[in-house]
Structure 1
């Protein structure tokens, strides 16, 4: 039930709770095919609608476990693509219906190959001279993508790369897509720092794409990527990456033992007992200027329509939100992901998020999802 709540029309909601999104070890992932991802980006570019999309791979996932700001940049994204076969494999083990790897580089290639809609691209980042070279290659093709500008800012601070003059320089080229290549952490931070100042509808950090287009690094063949062996190919192309892949591989082993295997067993038990679980319930009220969202019962992917409506209503206008979880008996990956979007929304607008009442069973479940941070309050900025 949604009580005492006046729906306020908004031209464009900051967060789309209709997304078919799932939690995999602490991050949300949209269940889209490559074609659906391409079509969504083209539609947003055509409509001039902002889409800051992230492409988390295993390195993103591992890094986000220890870096709150980096993790939150993914939670605040408009879309999050599963860029890495390890994520797909873990999703399958956890009985999460995330079937398609949607690599950022492949999404870019799909945009490059299509002929139905012209897109203007601005390359920001990469080694000195490589972005300009990538732009020259793109423009020589005469295809749907045209490079309207390129800038390699070097290794300065985020502040040095975020001056009003530089934002004006980018906006003056009127790009549809600002493609950033600064290293994942710096790239995500730069985008979030400058998101309001940039006018391009599409913005993403796709680090290696500039090198792939310029030809300074050869992209792995699709058969290699499909087998989950792209990391070997990347080490061949960039030997210095072996340290990162070694570190990520060790972290993956720990996640498999501590989270994926126990999570898979928990998912199996949940399937066996689902018929006996209480029906989900939701109540949204406005009390003393804040919104109180009370959830009850067991929430699963097929029963989330009331929750999506309640979250949309709760965030229609900026407000502090209290999330009462005291009557919740179960949350599956899809339900957890929607709460991640709520958490990201509140952090994005600087309003409070106050979870209350989570019991031990729910806390254990969120820990297996690497989403225990959803029980941490966010203060009003």
Structure 2
């Protein structure tokens, strides 16, 4: 790589006030997902704050099915990586996080979130919600229940798009009906893949600030499907109850279970062994050197040493300054000795900020052992080009 003149990006005079809060998020990357470490209290504060800002705010709730689907469909994965919050919905994800010593300890399901918003206990305001999806007639039933309860959600409209394609669900009249409602929250009740793809495709067309996919929550709210008891949900056996209630789901759970087992054997276990064998604890006291070099069209940031949680705040400050220069970023990994899940999470947020500016994040000179670490964590795709995946509009 051609040597470029060194600059101290941290000392640049470029304004960074326009940079979003993504670099401040406590995000961890594992198995190809970006997951926020937060609890319900923090989540609710973020939701009510975002509801008062005229900017799109996408909340995703990845579970095992999300994990499996994200490894097959790049657009689905992209919807998770571009979300404003990604919260773990699924006990297997919590178990894997604990096994890898990642501090994501609280499961936050879409159904639980909808229920808490519906109750509205201690909420600063009543959210206006638009219901999108669900089987025929369910949205009307749920809308009536919400408006009669005088709780935390007021339904101001609904659309049942049927079983059409993403293109059909993205027709102008559909989007116009959603936008005309004046809702604070768009609650989507479609299958995970279709919902996330539709949300990402229409991200900038929808004017409702808050949007999230709540999956089967509409069935629970309408009373057509009985939700599993709390004991089964908290112990990780909710899938057994779901199959009892909806037998056709066994195929999905069987497929997802097989993929999860394979991932555990081929990625999670080797990652834990690799971390133990190569001394992940040893690098905790070592420093990370960050050197930036500017060129006409890109900023090269060279990382030397271990890129770990302890260095995230300092690296985030450097990345913010680099983002203000409005150029592609190239991360030189030639002297990178280690990278943990927290720092990968920071890189994912850096990538998200760049994508929002139609810029790219690239990695250069990645040693073989670092490629292995990226791969074991499920982020081999980060090392491939291009990094700016174009979403059809």
Do the structures match in fold with TM over 0.5? yes
CA shift for structure 1 position 222: 1.9
The partner residue of 2:15 within 8, 25, 34 is 8
CA contact (8 A) 1:291 1:321 kept: yes
Query: What is the rounded CA distance, in whole Å, between the counterparts of 2:141 and 2:289 in structure 1?
Result: 56
1:71 matched to 2:109? The reply is: no
Cα contact 2:134–2:160 (8 A) shared by 1:
yes
Contact in 1 for aligned 2:10/2:321 (Cα 8 Å): no
Counterpart in 2 of 1:334? 342
Distance 1:16 1:77 in 2: 10
Maintained 8 Å contact 1:343/1:374: no
Shift of 1:379: 6.0
How many angstroms does 1:268 deviate by? 2.8
User: 2:184 maps to what in 1?
Assistant: 176
Distance in 1 separating the partners of 2:42 and 2:361: 32
**Does residue 1:371 correspond to 2:376, yes or no?**
no
Taking structure 2 as the reference length, the TM-score comes to 0.91
Aligned to 1:21: 27
1:113-262 matches, within 5 Å, as 113-115=119-121, 116=123, 117-262=125-270
1:111 counterpart residue number: 117
1:95 touches 1:267 (CA, 8 Å); kept in 2? no
Give the aligned partner of residue 101 of structure 2: 95
Closer/same/farther in 2, CA of residues 112 and 284 from structure 1, 3 Å limit: farther
User: SS of 2:24's equivalent?
Assistant: coil
Determine the C-alpha separation between the residues in 2 that align with 1:379 and 1:29: 19
The match for 1:37 is 43
Over 3 Å counting, the alpha-carbon distance change for 1:134 and 1:317 in structure 2 is farther
Q: What is aligned with 2:5?
A: none
CA drift at 1:39: 1.9
The SS at the match of 2:52 is helix
Shift, 1:47, TM fit: 3.8
Secondary structure (helix, strand or coil) at the match of 1:328 reads strand
Cα distance, 1:14 vs structure 2: 4.7
Give the alignment's TM-score, normalised by structure 1.
0.94
- What are structure 1's unaligned runs of at least 5 residues? none
Q: Does residue 313 of the first structure (1) align with residue 321 of the second (2)?
A: yes
Cα distance in 2 for residues equivalent to 1:178 and 1:311: 32
Deviates more, 1:290-299 or 1:1-10: 1-10
Name structure 2 gaps, 5 residues minimum: 1-7
What secondary structure sits across from 2:220 in the alignment? Answer: helix
Q: Distance in 2 between matches of 1:323 and 1:14?
A: 21
Distance 2:329 2:362 in 1: 6
Distance 1:93 1:69, change over 3 A: same
Going from structure 1 to structure 2, the CA distance change for 1:195 and 1:112 (only over 3 Å counts) comes to same
- For residue 224 of structure 1, report the CA deviation from its aligned partner: 1.3
